[in-house]
């Protein structure tokens, strides 16, 4: 790890979960040396990486002298506690629960449906060809974003961002799902609230710097 970096981040350019951690690091002004784990080449299943992340999942965040941290939501809350400013969660009890709920709709309900290990299983065991896999992606990304849109559009707590006027865990996780749709050129219609919030995130330096297309290993 370079001397100036505070962490080592095991990631892959298009990973939705790695995107979340990049945004949080950027927002917090923390540095990480990124080590590429090529999901397409199966590097996540290597013996060396399984010692870091036993599930073979990314991201993993490592600080010298401590065991690796895995699972993006846990890493985001760790970073928020490590560096409290700017906060990624609201001050009030119900606000924190709302933000965590929206974040979980993205990271726990929607994203797991389209990860590489699901694709591999469906194509090797479920008989999916490329067209069936794309239809699966469209179905579950669309279902998830439609539900989040309904949640955001129907709430007085929604502001410039998902909750109020500062980015939170919810915006980081929502942007990570939208990033996946962009990488795979999937358009989800009728989500005006999400589109408005993402237009703001797209102009925020922390989100811009984390853009999958700007990461090492991304197609030129």
Q: Which helix (H) or strand (E) holds 61?
A: strand 60-62
For tokens 């980015």, what's the residue? 167
Residue 45, pLDDT score: 92
| Beta pairing partners, 69 | 61
Q: Where in the chain is the domain with CATH 3.40.30.10?
A: 7-86
Q: Which overall architecture, per CATH, does domain 7-86 show?
A: 3-Layer(aba) Sandwich (3.40)
Outline where the chain has alpha helix (H).
16-28, 47-52, 72-82, 93-104, 116-124, 130-153, 169-183, 192-201, 205-210
pLDDT digits (tens, 9 = 90+) for 82-131: 999 999 999 999 999 999 999 999 999 999 999 999 999 999 999 999 99
For residue 220, is pLDDT > 90? no
Question: What is the topology classification, in CATH, of domain 93-210?
Answer: Glutathione S-transferase Yfyf (Class Pi); Chain A, domain 2 (1.20.1050)
Measured from the Cβ of residue 164, the count of other Cβ atoms closer than 10 Å reads: 15
For tokens 């797209």, what's the residue? 202
pTM of the full predicted structure?
Answer: 0.95
């Amino acid at each position: 790890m370079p001397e100036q970096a505070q962490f080592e981040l095991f990631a892959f350019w298009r990973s939705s979960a790695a995107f979340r951690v990049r945004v949080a690091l950027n927002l917090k002004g923390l540095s990480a040396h990124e080590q590429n784990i090529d999901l397409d080449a199966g590097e996540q299943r290597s013996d060396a990486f399984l010692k870091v992340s036993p599930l073979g999942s990314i991201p993993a965040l490592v600080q010298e002298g401590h065991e690796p941290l895995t699972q993006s939501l846990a890493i985001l809350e760790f970073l928020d506690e490590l560096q409290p400013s700017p906060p990624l969660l609201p001050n009030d009890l119900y606000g924190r629960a709302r933000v965590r709920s929206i974040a979980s709709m993205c990271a726990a309900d929607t994203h797991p449906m389209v990860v590489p290990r699901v694709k591999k299983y469906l194509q090797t065991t479920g008989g999916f060809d490329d067209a069936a896999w794309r239809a699966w992606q469209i179905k579950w990304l669309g279902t998830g974003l439609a539900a989040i849109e309904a949640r955001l559009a129907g709430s007085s707590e929604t502001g410039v961002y998902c909750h109020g006027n500062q980015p939170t865990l919810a915006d980081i996780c929502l942007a990570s799902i939208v990033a996946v749709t962009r990488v795979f050129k999937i358009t989800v219609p009728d989500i005006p609230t999400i589109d408005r919030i993402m237009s703001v995130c797209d102009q925020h330096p922390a989100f811009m710097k984390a853009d999958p297309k700007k990461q090492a290993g991304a197609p030129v």
